Amino acid sequence: MTLDSLEPLIRNIALIGFALASVLYLCSVQQTAKVLWPARGAFLSFTAATAAITSAAVLQLQVAQPLELSALLLSAAIGWLTVIGHLKFNMRLIGAFVAPLATLILMIQFFITPGHPRVPEGSTSAWLVDFHVVMAILGQAFAIIACAVSVFYLWQQNLLKKKRLSQLAQNLPAIDRIDQLLRISLWTGFILITVGLLSGAIYTQLYAPPETMRLSAKVIWATAVWLWYLATLLAKNVFGRSSKRIAQMCLAGFILLAFSYFGMGFLRSGGP
């Protein structure tokens, strides 16, 4: 394996490592003393991703474009600063913000500068495209479910607040069960949308697809949806916002999702 083929592999590993660290950091914020593996796994994944992206930047010092190299160096810099802050100053929570930021930087850079194809087209590319489509569709499905659950939660919470118990639907579960279903739907949708974006970014790096599959309007809106659901999880896990506020944010996220799904098709076709 040559350095030319090794470098994109290292970058893909770094992207996956930062994304995995993002999820684990969000899980570890409210962990108990008996469950330590999310925090340890987050730091290990983050450190490995930082080392990988640093190696990729070193390999590309002489040949990379300025925009491409600056993204690699920026990800490496904020990565090592976070590692130092964790080890020297016990600032463990900062990783919950830096890991998603590094993921976002690399994803955007992957879509902007795919470069030349490094792997020949074939069955592997077809499998990766199918995987990307399936993950994106499932992520959207769970986001829709989260929106529907949010409506039921806000409706039931409003009735309970006004003490209109007689208007509560008899076939609805208790509000704490609805809250639990909302968290599950939100987490699952966020993870699936993340995997969908990662697989699309990795595909552009390995196969350099046509311009329509790079940083298109649909990719931008999909990234915006990902950022909104990330902000929703941060609001819940890090800042301790109420379930009512989380449900409201899920509804706003669904509007972004609906626009990215229907609005982008409308704009591409020039009308209905």
CB 136 within 8 A of CB 203: no
Same domain, 3 and 52: yes
Residue 117's pLDDT is what? 54
Nearest to 188 by CA among 142, 234, 151: 142
pLDDT at 203 (0 to 100)? 83
Query: Structurally, how many domains does the chain consist of?
Result: 2
Q: What is the pLDDT of residue 212?
A: 54
Do residue 149 and residue 240 come from a single domain?
A: yes
Query: What pLDDT score was predicted for residue 48?
Result: 97
Same domain, 148 and 185: yes
| Per-residue confidence (pLDDT) for residue 170, from 0 to 100 | 57
DSSP string, 60-122: TTTTS-HHHHHHHHHHHHHHHHHHHHHHHH---TTHHHHHHHHHHHHHHHHHH---S--S--S
Judge if 124 and 41 occupy the same domain.
no
Q: Tell me how many degrees the CA angle 143-37-132 measures, rounded to the nearest 5.
A: 35
Chosen domain end from 113, 135, 152: 113
Domain that holds residue 143: 120-272
Query: Do 48 and 24 lie in a common domain?
Result: yes
Question: Residue 59's CB: how many other CB atoms inside 10 A?
Answer: 18
Q: How confident is the model at residue 271 (pLDDT cuts 50, 70, 90)?
A: very low
Residues 219, 224, 230, CA angle at the centre, nearest 5°? Answer: 125
Contacts of 186 (CB under 8 A, 6+ apart): 142, 146, 229, 232, 233, 236, 246, 250
Q: Are residues 143 and 249 in the same domain?
A: yes
pLDDT at 53 over 90: yes
| Final residue of a structural domain among 65, 87, 113 | 113
pLDDT computed for residue 260 by the predictor: 66
Same domain, 80 and 99: yes
Residue-level pLDDT at 18: 97
For the cut 90, the answer to whether the pLDDT of residue 19 exceeds it is: yes
Residue 226 and residue 126 share a domain: yes
How large is the angle between the packed helices 123-161 and 175-207, nearest 10 degrees?
160
User: What's residue 16's pLDDT?
Assistant: 96
At 272 the pLDDT is 40
Structure tokens at 56: 């990729």
Domain co-membership, 171 together with 85:
no
**Same-domain status, 89 and 167:** no
CA 216, distance to chain mean position in Å, is: 18
User: What count of Cα atoms within 13 Å lies in the side-chain half-sphere of residue 78?
Assistant: 19
Asked whether residue 124 carries a pLDDT value surpassing 80, the answer given is: no
Whole-prediction pTM value?
A: 0.85
Output the DSSP codes for 22-55: HHHHHHHTT--TT--HHHHHHHHHHHHHHHHHHH
Which stretches within 171-215 are classed as H helix?
Answer: 175-207
As a whole number, the mean pLDDT across the chain is: 82
153 with 220, same domain: the answer is yes
Q: CB-based contacts of 171: which residues, under 8 Å, 6+ apart?
A: none
pLDDT in tens, 215-232: 567 788 788 889 999 999
Q: What is the pLDDT of residues 98-123, one digit of tens each?
A: 999 999 999 988 888 765 555 555 55
113, 129, 161: which is the final residue of a domain? 113
State the CATH number of the domain containing residue 75. 1.20.120
Q: Quick one: 36 and 167 in the same domain?
A: no
Report d(CA 79, CA 84) in Å as an integer.
9
Structure tokens at 228: 């909104």
